[in-house]
Homo-oligomer: A and B are copies of this chain.
Amino acid sequence: MTPAADPQGLTRVPVALAERSYDILIGSGLVRGAGATLAERFPGRAVAIVTDAHVGEIHGPALEASLSGAGIRHHRITVAPGEATKRFAVLEEVVDQILAHRLERGDIVLALGGGVVGDLAGFAAAIVRRGMGFVQMPTSLLAQVDSSVGGKTGINSRHGKNLIGAFYQPGLVLADTDVLDTLSTREFRAGYAEVAKYGLIDDPGFFAWLETNWRGVFQGGRDRVHAIATSCRAKAAVVARDETETGDRALLNLGHTFGHALEAATAYDGARLVHGEGVAIGMCQAFRFSAKLGLCAPMDAVRMANHLKAVGLPTELSEIPGGVGDVDRLMAAIGQDKKVARGKLTFILARGIGESFIARDVDPAAVREFLAEELARD
């Protein structure tokens, strides 16, 4: 299971999706080398860089210099940072600018940014001329290990997050591990919750490795590349089995049903709770709920929470500033989550660390009781 390394010392994770297969390249210097990489893989294509104002300011110039150096025509399209950018009006603006720059069907939309930019730009790439070229350059840890892999793209609706979008696979993902050095610690930690998730789903060895080596992941270098590559490989394997989420892929939602409810209950206010923090608490809840149902040893729930706590992630409802309301409010938020199928509650539960499974018939009354206990914890 050592990752394939290419001549430049990059780790390559292939995503096997028949004629939509593509590579994820992970490592140092990928922004600087982007021009050469794209010129080789997609000769003659123009590029629309979609980025947010924050990331564009820090990493845009290096990328543009690299593209110019390789003789690639490029244009920068800048959106505001933040979740609110994932909406129709901004999508329309991005689409309009791509067309205004006269990009053709074979040209490339390149997402330079976190999950917000990747989801939005990917959706734009999917719908302009019914599908253009698409390259992901994820710049947040969450985007590198999660949102850039698997082809889910989209925007939010007032009825819920990510309710509008397309399955649209990129032609290439370039995950430059150096760019994560400019990410805030809080955002890095939030992405780390998703890294830990892959261990919790089905890779207890990886979870144990993280318990020992997490400092190296935060610091950069080989451990970071290893953690990102392992995460991408895990997600790629699930996606290859179930591209459009009709089955297995739901495992990736470990911690997300509770997590989304917490995001909704905090009105998606990133100052109070960012997505990865919601996932961290949500995963702890999935394990505590599993323990309560007698599915999993209580010690496993304690152990996984202790690791998340060690890296500085929240693990309890009480850590959310301003609170999340009462049981009714949380239940309503859970009921609105899109993973509720035809009235029954679906949760990802666990029999232990690395032994998660899809539970499709969870009794709402048991969830209520569990949430009441959670709210009563200090």
Contacts and interface: CB of A to CB of B under 8 A. Distances in A.
A129 B164 CA distance: 5
B96 A92 contact: no
Contact of A342 (B92, B95, B104): B104
Given A104-B342, A166-B166, A130 B244 contact: yes
A95 B159 CA distance: 10
B159 A96 contact: yes
Q: Is the interface of A mostly helix, strand, loop or mixed?
A: mixed
B95 A164 contact: yes
A165 B128 CA distance: 6
A130 B167 contact: yes
A165 B88 contact: no
A247 B131 CA distance: 15
A91 B164 CA distance: 11
Copies of this chain, complex-wide, total 2
Nearest to A124: B164
A152 interface: yes
Interface in A143-171: 152, 154, 157-160, 163-167
Given A99-B163, A104-B342, A163-B99, A131 B88 contact: no
Contacts of A96: 157-159
Contacts of A164: 95, 127-129
16 contacts: A88-B91, A88-B92, A95-B164, A96-B158, A99-B159, A99-B163, A100-B159, A123-B127, A126-B166, A127-B154, A127-B164, A128-B164, A130-B165, A130-B167, A131-B166, A131-B167
Interface of A: 88, 91-92, 95-96, 99-100, 104, 123, 126-131, 152, 154, 157-160, 163-167, 244, 338, 341-342
List the 4 closest pairs (A to B, CB-CB), nearest first.
Answer: A99-B159, A88-B92, A130-B165, A127-B164
